[in-house]
Structure 1
Amino acid sequence: MLRESRHEQLLRVLREEGVLPVGRIAERLRVSEATARRDLDDLGKAGRLTRVYGGAVAREPAERPFADEEVDDLAGKDAIARRAARTVEDGEMVLLDIGTTTLQLARQLHGRQITVVTSNLAVYEELRDDAEVTLVLLGGQVRRNYRSLVGFLTESSLGQLRVDRLFLGTSGVLPDGRVLDTTDIEVPVKKAMLASARQVVLLATARKFPGTGTARICGPQDIDVLITDQASDPGTLATFGEAGVEVAVAAGEAGEA
């Protein structure tokens, strides 16, 4: 196994199991204890884990502030949001995931006679004064950096709902169609969203192929529609198509897809 792949596997194991001793890490990776120690030293120097008495614990990857993410690739997000908004019908109940692409979608939903359910505080702030939109804000613990709600209260609320469409965000999509997130604490909420929706629409700009992330949300078999832009990886889009996913490519301002 290549060192980089072994490092990623080591971090996944630590996130799943917490603190592990060196001997147990060596067993899980099928390497010598000397190799396991070198890997721990390398990842510790890179700031990706913390050495503790008896072993090591993974650090959460640094998350960019929401405001910084919002301005990245704004044209691509806007094109995807416009295409996604055209799929929403009056009277529907739609669920908007966290993220900046779903915020762009919310900006396209003003004046619509629909119900919007969300854990995205930026979406709530965008739509809270729109008298036409019925707005449902899920409960939960506030993640201030990324303006979202997480935890068992959020998951429990989702368990009471059955929505027409979920618009799902992601930090990365692998060539085999796995949909990822960078933050483990968001994944249970996203999975609860998947379970509450009749249709799942994945929104992903080209830079999300492959993007980033270590935590798996779902696979292509869990997605009904993928809306992306013209620069996205053709091979990954083909993987979704082969899995029966409707792939919609949003055009920029110059035209419609």
Structure 2
Amino acid sequence: MLKTKRVRQIKEYVFEHQTVSLDELVEVFHVSKNTIRRDIQELVDLGEIKKVYGGVAVNHTTLESFHDRQTRNQYEKELIGKLAAGYVDDGDIIYIDSGTTTLEMIECLKTKDVTIITNNLDVIITALSYENLNVISTGGVLERKTKSFASFKNMDLIKNYNINKAFMASTGISISNGVTNSSPLESELKKTVVDRSSEVYLLVDHYKFDKYALMTYCGLDEIDYLITDKIPSEEYQEYAKENNIQLVFRESEVKVTS
């Protein structure tokens, strides 16, 4: 693997996990510890990450912007957004979570009559072009890096709505840690949305599997549909079967029931 590609992948891995050990990076990228140290130093010098005892962590003073996340793995995001939009019907009241993958749904919804509840600024702006999309904002304080609104008052607003379908994003998912997010305030909003929704759809590309962030906002077993770009491992397939989760990937879907 070229060094530039490896360094980029190391950065993405650290950002997804928030904190990782050097030994873990050695195992994942199949290189020596000295090589990992040199690669890490490049990212540290750029201010992307910082060294911690035994490993490295995200430098939150340079938290990855919404734009940077949006341009990464763009093909996969568009595919997942298209698959998710296929589950939206005219008249639905849906929640579209703040995320670069969930944003891709809007273009695919432009011919449908739908009410969208969201906390994401880009979702609101993109939906402006389509008069048939009725948009309700949760309001609150704008987090510029993620282009999302968050406030403890959002929780009371969400509790008043009956949401048919919630389309949720995540920084990382795992069977042990569930569905996770880096922002404590946003995580509380996500948790409330999951509780208030009849059906919960989780949109994640395959890079998000077996990764986790600071906060767990729901268990993986609380998800009804898991939409991704490729079929997950047998472990996740078995978990889906045991918990009646429908796996959706690429242009096909697998209904997995117990």
TM range (shorter): 0.7 to 0.9
What SS class does the counterpart of residue 89 from structure 1 fall into? Answer: coil
For residues 52 and 166 of structure 2, the distance between their equivalents in structure 1, rounded to whole angstroms, comes to 40
Residue 154 (structure 1) aligned with residue 154 (structure 2):
yes
Deviation of the 1:153 alpha carbon: 2.2
The one-letter code sitting in structure 2 at the alignment partner of 1:195 is: D
Alignment-derived partner of residue 91 in structure 2: 91
The question of whether the paired residues in 2 share the 8 Å contact of 1:175 and 1:209 is answered with no
Alpha carbons of 1:159 and 1:233: their partners in 2 closer, same or farther (altered >3 Å)? same
For residues 66 and 146 of structure 2, the distance between their equivalents in structure 1, rounded to whole angstroms, comes to 5
For residues 79 and 45 of structure 1, the distance between their equivalents in structure 2, rounded to whole angstroms, comes to 34
Alignment-derived partner of residue 39 in structure 2: none
Alpha carbons of 1:224 and 1:243: their partners in 2 closer, same or farther (altered >3 Å)? same
Alpha carbons of 1:62 and 1:215: their partners in 2 closer, same or farther (altered >3 Å)? farther
For residues 72 and 129 of structure 2, the distance between their equivalents in structure 1, rounded to whole angstroms, comes to 26
The question of whether the paired residues in 2 share the 8 Å contact of 1:127 and 1:133 is answered with yes
Alpha carbons of 1:108 and 1:212: their partners in 2 closer, same or farther (altered >3 Å)? same
For residues 210 and 71 of structure 1, the distance between their equivalents in structure 2, rounded to whole angstroms, comes to 22
Alignment-derived partner of residue 75 in structure 1: 75
For residues 205 and 89 of structure 2, the distance between their equivalents in structure 1, rounded to whole angstroms, comes to 23
Residue 224 (structure 1) aligned with residue 224 (structure 2):
yes
For residues 62 and 175 of structure 1, the distance between their equivalents in structure 2, rounded to whole angstroms, comes to 29
1:34-113 matched pairs, under 5 angstroms: 42-43=52-53, 63-113=63-113
The question of whether the paired residues in 2 share the 8 Å contact of 1:171 and 1:213 is answered with yes
Give the number of the structure whose alpha-carbon radius of gyration is greater: 1
For residues 238 and 213 of structure 1, the distance between their equivalents in structure 2, rounded to whole angstroms, comes to 23
Alignment-derived partner of residue 178 in structure 1: 178
For residues 45 and 171 of structure 1, the distance between their equivalents in structure 2, rounded to whole angstroms, comes to 20
Detail structure 1 runs of 4+ shifted over 6 Å in the superposition.
none
Alignment-derived partner of residue 120 in structure 2: 120
For residues 45 and 243 of structure 1, the distance between their equivalents in structure 2, rounded to whole angstroms, comes to 35
For residues 248 and 239 of structure 1, the distance between their equivalents in structure 2, rounded to whole angstroms, comes to 14
- Root-mean-square deviation (CA), in Å? 2.3
**CA offset digits 1:214-242 (Å, max 9, x no partner):** 21111122111111111533422432332
Deviation of the 1:191 alpha carbon: 0.5
For residues 62 and 150 of structure 2, the distance between their equivalents in structure 1, rounded to whole angstroms, comes to 18
For residues 72 and 211 of structure 2, the distance between their equivalents in structure 1, rounded to whole angstroms, comes to 13
For residues 248 and 123 of structure 2, the distance between their equivalents in structure 1, rounded to whole angstroms, comes to 23
What SS class does the counterpart of residue 134 from structure 1 fall into? Answer: strand
- TM-score normalised to structure 1 length: 0.73
What SS class does the counterpart of residue 101 from structure 2 fall into? Answer: helix
What SS class does the counterpart of residue 100 from structure 1 fall into? Answer: coil
Structure 2: stretches of 5+ with no match in the other structure: 1-18, 20-50, 254-258
Tell which deviates more after alignment, 75-84 or 230-239: 230-239
Alignment-derived partner of residue 13 in structure 2: none
For residues 217 and 107 of structure 2, the distance between their equivalents in structure 1, rounded to whole angstroms, comes to 25
For residues 88 and 52 of structure 2, the distance between their equivalents in structure 1, rounded to whole angstroms, comes to 48
The question of whether the paired residues in 1 share the 8 Å contact of 2:96 and 2:117 is answered with yes
The one-letter code sitting in structure 2 at the alignment partner of 1:86 is: G
What SS class does the counterpart of residue 227 from structure 2 fall into? Answer: strand
For residues 153 and 223 of structure 1, the distance between their equivalents in structure 2, rounded to whole angstroms, comes to 25
Residue 239 (structure 1) aligned with residue 242 (structure 2):
no
- TM-score normalised to structure 2 length: 0.72
The question of whether the paired residues in 2 share the 8 Å contact of 1:80 and 1:229 is answered with yes
The question of whether the paired residues in 1 share the 8 Å contact of 2:175 and 2:220 is answered with no
Structure 1: stretches of 5+ with no match in the other structure: 1-7, 9-40, 49-58
Deviation of the 1:60 alpha carbon: 5.5
Deviation of the 1:175 alpha carbon: 3.7
For residues 220 and 212 of structure 2, the distance between their equivalents in structure 1, rounded to whole angstroms, comes to 17
Deviation of the 1:82 alpha carbon: 1.0
Residue 129 (structure 1) aligned with residue 129 (structure 2):
yes
Alignment-derived partner of residue 141 in structure 2: 141
What SS class does the counterpart of residue 108 from structure 1 fall into? Answer: helix
